[in-house]
């Protein structure tokens, strides 16, 4: 036991460092070593407790008693500290995964990278959470709750937008008339008419 | 029929607004700096009124035809077509037949305007300015009379035939009288036709389209600093490419400086003069060196065609003169080779005075001209001419040329840019050109860069490299004496060389032509127009650009080559393509070039 709390310090540092990244690889080693540390501290605390219980009848020095109590307190707080770090680390990761499920959905560009960076329990979490989100969204198909690269819940600022045509689409019928979309043209049209085409990649929004 | 002048712009705009309620609006834009600025101003006006519109960039008459088949014919709801810097020279009814319920608005700086647009067709509205009103009215009258004369003549001929039959007794008197009348009419008609021929003979540029559009914006009371800046850029581009002369330019400058003063007075939150507001426009005198704020002083003077040609810097003697000039001004050469922003402050302060005193000794009069500059916060300050050079370079640099210069045109790393390549290489006689593939992409890069200051700076960087290449090429041409001085013009063929891919665009070639024209004007014996051709190896064709010679800097002479090219091409039956909106640009098959040039000489 080199020093108490060294691994948890490392894990906390890593969590802070990777706070901005998408998902970093699951640091299984550190987690395991911290868990081992917790177990070791726990067994130590148990032995001290047993020895205290056994020696209850025998009169003991005050000092000895104090030192045993101090050891107990130390071990207990160390265990709590480690637990707290582990919780924080896992919580940060699952929050990121939740965000991903809402915003990006099942089809993201980095699906494979993300999946390879998760631990086994996180995999399961992502799948099940993703299913929950999908079932929830099913009931509100008309409202775009974000995800799939759509606009989401941010209201648009303008009625008309400028778009540029990247691939020949041909004619589309809108409420207010027909638009003939030919490659290379730039249009100033209603947002509602062209949003789906922007999402599909045929048009490009020009700001 | 309408040829409207500045006081009627507002009505035209109201009409556009009204028709947009039920109909669509298409804007055809030519790919040059003035047109893009004008288009942006127009778009901001239309957006404020929430008028749906569509922008279609067109590079030549082929594009217009294609647009007609794909867009105009099919769209039954089309009501308005606005053409910016294109279509003024031709009869629009030819390119857009059956477009009866569509109104055309032509804002074109090319002259001479096709009189058919003004007189015969009823739904074309041409924007013009007041300075030419009298002359144009005369010409319109002449043209109308000619048309009516033709109509009357047909009727008269029928009548005379009948008269001959019925009045046999008056035979003696009849024919002489008719013949006399016919003679007078013929003389009249001959004079009128001569006048019209004169009118159509030469090509030149008139008021800038962005200037006109800015006028419209002021009439609508929607002018603001951004629009003013765009208009300034457009007008400066015309001046820099020697399309308008100094007096006209000064008119614009005076008007714009009034506007700047109005904007400054209007804005009460402008802090004390020591602190510049963001995006403020100032009136500042500009030197005739290119991009000197972004380059070292030495480089900028060396590579600008004004200084380079006057001093003759392609020779050792010229370089010595340049160094002497710096010495006289009291600038150490080391300072001059530093980038301008790193030069000593005191040198920069005295630069203006020194140049004005020293430069005339070397023949560099008029080294300053009034212009405008805009500051973007504390980071950059750009002058209108800087922006013009940047935009022009962005328009004319092909991806391969950029590779030669060591930079890439893929500014935003969007994969979507590739999709804007125009793969349609179909052209009879295989006279398509490489240009077709990337011009639209460049058009949009330029269009977008008006919003982004960083793109303009990249354009400036590209322009510096391009200018070095142009000067290199020009120097090598002068040194190797590859120009042939013929009776009526000078001629150069560019067949090889490391920089050949750079000279595949008419704009670059015209810059080179301007450089050479200036050089020969100062150091050659006569002042002759220039005809430059550059080889497009991929398509086995030559791109030919003709420049007319102006007597001095800041002066403009009308360009007769459009006509001459057409005639020579018809006479030699060469395989040519006159696709561009500039009449002095053409593409010709490699094998026909020699004959064509000989024929050109004879005309």
Lowest-pLDDT choice from A35-39, A82-86, B332-336: B332-336
pLDDT classification of B519: cutoffs 50, 70, 90: confident
CB contact under 8 A, A185 and B46: no
How much is the pLDDT for B153? 65
Angle formed by the axes of helices A28-54 and A6-17, nearest 10°:
150
Higher pLDDT, B41 or B290: B41
CA-to-CA dists, residue B234 to A100, B28, B35, B39, B207, angstroms: 48, 17, 8, 11, 10
Higher pLDDT, B472 or A109: B472
Tokens of B195: 């006048």
The pTM score is: 0.78
Distance between CA atoms of residues B457 and B434, nearest Å: 26
Does position B248 have pLDDT exceeding 80, yes or no? yes
SS3 for B332-389 is: CHHHHCCEHHHCCHHHHHHHHHHHHHHHHHHCCCCCEEEEEEEEECCCEEEEHHHHHH
Does position A85 have pLDDT exceeding 80, yes or no? yes
In tens, the pLDDT along B220-246 reads: 888 888 899 999 999 998 888 878 878
How much is the pLDDT for A59? 60
Region B259-278: mean pLDDT is 64
Nearest CA to B435 among B487, B518, B508, B380?
B508
Tell me the count of A-B CB pairs closer than 8 A.
52
**Structural contact between residues B376 and B453, judged by C-beta atoms closer than 8 angstroms:** yes
How much is the pLDDT for B425? 44
Which residues of chain B does A178 touch, with a Cβ-Cβ cutoff of 8 Å?
A: 75, 77
CA atoms A129, A130, A134, A135: torsion sign: negative
Q: What residues contact B311, with CB distance under 8 A and at least 6 apart?
A: B318, B321, B322, B325, B362, B363, B364
Lowest-pLDDT choice from A48-52, B30-34, B130-134: B130-134
Mind telling me how many Å the CA of B237 is from chain A's nearest CA?
Answer: 24
Angle formed by the axes of helices B435-449 and B384-396, nearest 10°:
150
Indicate the residue of B50, B54, B414 with minimum beta-carbon distance to A187: B54
Where are the strands (E) in A46-113, listed by range?
A: none
Indicate the residue of B52, B55, B74 with minimum beta-carbon distance to A185: B55
How much is the pLDDT for B171? 44
Backbone phi, psi, residue B592, to 5°: -90, 0
- The gap from C-alpha B135 to its chain's centroid, in whole angstroms, comes to 23
Distance between CA atoms of residues B34 and B88, nearest Å: 15
| Cα dihedral B304→B310→B316→B317 (10° resolution) | -150
How much is the pLDDT for B58? 87
In tens, the pLDDT along B479-493 reads: 888 888 877 788 888
Which residues of chain B does A186 touch, with a Cβ-Cβ cutoff of 8 Å?
A: 54-55, 444, 447
Tokens of A88: 């924080």
**Structural contact between residues B443 and B57, judged by C-beta atoms closer than 8 angstroms:** yes
Other Cβ atoms within 10 Å of A125 Cβ, number: 18
Numbered residues of chain B with Cβ closer than 8 Å to any chain A Cβ:
24, 43, 46-47, 50-57, 70-71, 74-75, 77, 414, 416, 419-420, 422, 440, 444, 447-448, 451
How much is the pLDDT for B544? 83
CB contact under 8 A, B419 and A167: yes
CATH number assigned to the domain covering B397-602: 3.10.310.40
pLDDT classification of B410: cutoffs 50, 70, 90: low
CB contact under 8 A, B54 and A164: no
In tens, the pLDDT along B206-216 reads: 778 888 888 88
Dump the DSSP string for B447-487. Answer: HHHTT-HHHHHHHHHHHHHHHHHHHHHHHHHHHHT--EE-S
pLDDT classification of B497: cutoffs 50, 70, 90: confident
Is the backbone peptide bond immediately before B531 cis, with ω within 30 degrees of 0?
no
pLDDT classification of B435: cutoffs 50, 70, 90: low
Nearest CA to A125 among A149, A156, A159, A90?
A90
Does position B277 have pLDDT exceeding 80, yes or no? no
Lowest-pLDDT choice from B163-177, B187-201, B313-327, B372-386: B163-177
CB contact under 8 A, B77 and A183: no
pLDDT classification of B432: cutoffs 50, 70, 90: low
Which residues of chain B does A169 touch, with a Cβ-Cβ cutoff of 8 Å?
A: none
| Cα dihedral A99→A100→A102→A108 (10° resolution) | 160
How much is the pLDDT for B470? 86
Q: What residues contact B418, with CB distance under 8 A and at least 6 apart?
A: none
Q: What residues contact B90, with CB distance under 8 A and at least 6 apart?
A: B61, B114
Task: Report domain extents, chain B.
Answer: 397-602
Higher pLDDT, B413 or B199: B199
Backbone phi, psi, residue B134, to 5°: -60, -50
């Amino acid at each position: 036991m080199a020093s108490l709390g060294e691994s948890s310090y490392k894990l906390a540092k890593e969590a802070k460092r990777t706070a901005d990244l998408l998902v970093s690889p699951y640091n299984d080693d550190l987690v395991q070593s911290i868990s081992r540390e917790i177990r070791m501290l726990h067994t130590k605390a148990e032995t001290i407790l047993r020895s205290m219980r056994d020696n209850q009848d025998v009169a003991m020095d005050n000092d000895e008693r104090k030192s045993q109590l101090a050891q107990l307190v130390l071990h207990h707080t160390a265990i709590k500290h480690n637990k707290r770090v582990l919780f924080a680390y896992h919580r940060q990761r699952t929050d990121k995964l939740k965000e991903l499920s809402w915003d990006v959905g099942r089809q993201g560009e980095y699906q494979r990278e993300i999946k390879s960076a998760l631990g086994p329990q996180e995999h399961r979490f992502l799948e099940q959470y993703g299913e929950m989100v999908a079932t929830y969204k099913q009931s509100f198909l008309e409202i775009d709750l974000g995800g799939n690269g759509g606009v989401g819940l941010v209201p648009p600022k303008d009625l008309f937008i400028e778009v540029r045509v990247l691939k020949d689409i041909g004619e589309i019928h809108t409420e207010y008339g027909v638009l003939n979309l030919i490659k290379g043209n730039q249009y100033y049209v209603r947002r509602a008419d062209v949003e789906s085409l922007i999402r599909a990649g045929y048009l490009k929004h020009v700001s | 029929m309408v040829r409207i002048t500045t006081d009627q712009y507002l009505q035209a705009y109201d009409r556009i607004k009204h028709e947009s309620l039920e109909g669509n609006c298409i804007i055809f834009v030519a790919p040059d700096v003035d047109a893009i600025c004008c288009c942006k101003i127009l778009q901001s006006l239309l957006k404020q009124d929430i008028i749906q519109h569509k922008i279609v960039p067109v590079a030549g008459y082929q594009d217009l035809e294609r647009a007609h088949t794909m867009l105009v014919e099919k769209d039954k709801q089309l009501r308005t077509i606005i053409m910016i810097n294109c279509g003024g020279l031709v009869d629009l009814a030819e390119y857009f037949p059956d477009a009866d319920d569509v109104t055309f608005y032509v804002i074109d700086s090319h002259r001479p305007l096709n009189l058919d647009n003004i007189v015969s067709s009823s739904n074309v509205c041409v924007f013009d300015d007041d300075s030419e009103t009298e002359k144009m009215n005369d010409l319109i009258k002449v043209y109308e009379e000619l048309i009516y004369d033709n109509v009357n003549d047909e009727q008269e001929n029928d009548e005379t035939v009948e008269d001959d039959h019925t009045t046999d007794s008056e035979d003696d008197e009849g024919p002489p009288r008719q013949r006399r009348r016919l003679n007078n009419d013929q003389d009249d008609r001959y004079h009128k036709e001569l006048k019209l021929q004169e009118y159509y003979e030469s090509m030149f540029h008139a008021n800038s389209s962005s200037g006109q559009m800015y006028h419209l914006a002021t009439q609508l009371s929607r002018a603001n600093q951004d629009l003013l800046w765009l208009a300034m850029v457009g007008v400066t581009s015309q001046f820099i490419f020697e399309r308008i002369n100094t007096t006209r330019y000064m008119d614009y400058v005076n008007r714009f400086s009034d506007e700047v003063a109005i904007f400054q007075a209007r804005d009460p939150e402008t802090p004390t003069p020591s602190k510049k507001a963001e995006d403020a426009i100032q009136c500042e005198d500009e030197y005739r060196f290119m991009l000197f704020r972004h380059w070292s002083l030495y480089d900028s003077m060396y590579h600008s065609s004004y200084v380079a040609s006057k001093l003759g810097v392609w020779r050792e003697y010229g370089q010595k003169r340049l160094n002497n000039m710096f010495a006289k001004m009291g600038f150490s050469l080391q300072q001059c080779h530093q980038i301008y922003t790193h030069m000593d402050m005191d040198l920069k302060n005295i630069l203006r005075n020194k140049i004005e005193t020293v430069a005339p000794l070397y023949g560099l009069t008029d080294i300053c001209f009034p212009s405008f500059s805009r500051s973007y916060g504390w980071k950059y300050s750009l002058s209108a001419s800087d922006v013009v050079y940047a935009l022009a370079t962005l328009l004319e640099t092909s991806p391969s040329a950029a590779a030669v210069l060591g930079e890439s045109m893929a500014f935003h790393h969007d994969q979507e840019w590739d999709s804007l390549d125009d793969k349609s290489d179909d052209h009879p006689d295989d006279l398509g050109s490489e240009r077709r593939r990337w011009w639209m992409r460049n058009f949009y890069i330029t269009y977008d860069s008006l919003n982004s200051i960083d793109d303009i700076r990249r354009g400036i960087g590209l322009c510096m490299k391009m200018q070095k290449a142009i000067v290199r090429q020009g120097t090598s041409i002068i040194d190797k004496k590859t120009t042939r001085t013929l009776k009526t013009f000078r001629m150069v063929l560019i067949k090889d060389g490391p920089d050949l891919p750079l000279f595949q665009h008419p704009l670059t070639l015209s810059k080179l032509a301007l450089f050479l024209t200036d050089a020969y004007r100062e150091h050659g014996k006569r002042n002759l127009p220039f005809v430059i051709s550059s080889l497009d190896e991929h398509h086995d064709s030559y791109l030919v650009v003709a420049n007319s010679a102006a007597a001095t800097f800041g002066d403009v002479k009308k360009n007769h080559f459009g006509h001459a090219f057409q005639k020579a091409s018809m006479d030699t039956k060469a395989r040519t393509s006159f696709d561009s909106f500039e009449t002095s640009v053409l593409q010709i098959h490699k094998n026909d070039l020699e004959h064509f040039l000989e024929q050109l000489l004879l005309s």
